[in-house]
Amino acid sequence: MTHLRQMMLEELERRNYAPRTIECYIQTVKHFSRYFKRPPDQLGTEHIRQYQTALFSKWKLAPNTVAQRLAALRFFYVKTLRKPWSVIETPYPRRRRVEHLPMVLSQEEVAQLIDSALTPFHRILLMTLYATGIRRAELTGLKVTDVDSKRMVIHIRGGKGRKDRDVMLSPVLLAALREYWRSLKRKPSGWLFPGTSAHAADFPISVKTVYHACQHAARRAGFQKRVHPHTLRHCFATHLLENGADLRTIQLLLGHRNLADTAIYLHVSQRHLSATASPLDMLSLGNKRDK
């Protein structure tokens, strides 16, 4: 680890940034440095401006993503290097708030996805995502002690916003986790899903492992639609809603701060859509034909 990387990491940890944010910020500065093939402390405002343009024109990133990359660079220069930062010379892009409805698979498609997992390990990861509705970063942070079979819940420690919560432990998932546990040659002492290689066994799997598990399964299932780990979170919430769960319960299970964030699943719930009649159905129209 370079001296600059270590300095930035310490500044981020000192301010109690979330692990996912820390990883994103570190990778951004690394990418910025590689783009110009120079150490980041030797780059200045003009390089930042060029990089911002490239994020839009070369990599076609969304305004919100570019703003996040700029926030990472700003942290590096202001908090790590103690250098000034001019918002006038490096303005943040105008953000566009676009409400996209989440893509949701049917229950049959979810079963097909899980059955198409590349390996048994990938299968248990996909099952856990769908059974609990947790985020992939929360999945990688699960420990053996978080599985509470007596209360039939899984404890989520330090989720988004540093909040703890409990989610249900499905009997089917519990049986699958026990089978997974019996299959392990080396029982993990801490992490529920440790790294698979010998040198990584003392660390949890990365979020990329979860992403690849989903991607491989989607390709093997022959899905044309884009499927990623968060898709299973959307499926979890939508299918609960369609089976009669109330929004408040789903909000607590997902760890949403606002109920409005959970209400979006009303827009994709087949049960709620089909139960609402179109106003056309209320009209008394005659069967007149043009003569």
Write down the H helix ranges in the chain. 3-14, 19-36, 45-57, 63-75, 107-115, 120-132, 136-140, 171-183, 207-221, 229-242, 247-254, 259-262, 270-274
State residue 287's pLDDT score: 66
Identify whether 135 is a catalytic site residue.
yes
Identify whether 15 is a catalytic site residue.
no
Tokens of 262: 């959970």
- Active-site choice (160, 216, 220, 271): 160
CA angle 260, 273, 134 (to 5 degrees): 45
Identify whether 17 is a catalytic site residue.
no
State residue 279's pLDDT score: 79
Q: pLDDT in tens for each of the 291 residues of the chain?
A: 589 999 999 999 999 888 888 999 999 999 999 999 999 999 999 999 999 999 999 999 989 899 999 999 999 999 999 999 988 888 888 876 656 788 999 999 999 999 999 999 999 999 999 999 999 999 999 999 999 999 999 999 987 777 899 999 999 999 999 999 999 887 777 899 998 765 666 789 999 999 999 999 999 999 998 899 999 999 999 999 999 999 999 999 999 999 999 999 988 887 777 777 777 777 878 765 554
In whole angstroms, what separates CA 18 from the centre of its chain?
Answer: 14
State residue 106's pLDDT score: 95
Contact in structure between 163 and 234 (CB atoms under 8 Å): no
- Active-site choice (135, 136, 234, 239): 135
- Active-site choice (25, 51, 130, 265): 265
* Secondary structure letter of residue 103 according to DSSP: P
- Active-site choice (5, 30, 31, 230): 230
Identify whether 230 is a catalytic site residue.
yes
Task: Report how far apart the first and last C-alpha atoms of the chain are (Å, whole number).
Answer: 83
State residue 161's pLDDT score: 72
State residue 100's pLDDT score: 78
Identify whether 233 is a catalytic site residue.
yes
Domains of the chain: 3-80 (1.10.150.130), 107-274 (1.10.443.10)
Contact in structure between 36 and 49 (CB atoms under 8 Å): no
Q: What's the whole-model pTM score?
A: 0.77
Give the H or E element holding residue 147. Answer: strand 147-148
Identify whether 256 is a catalytic site residue.
yes
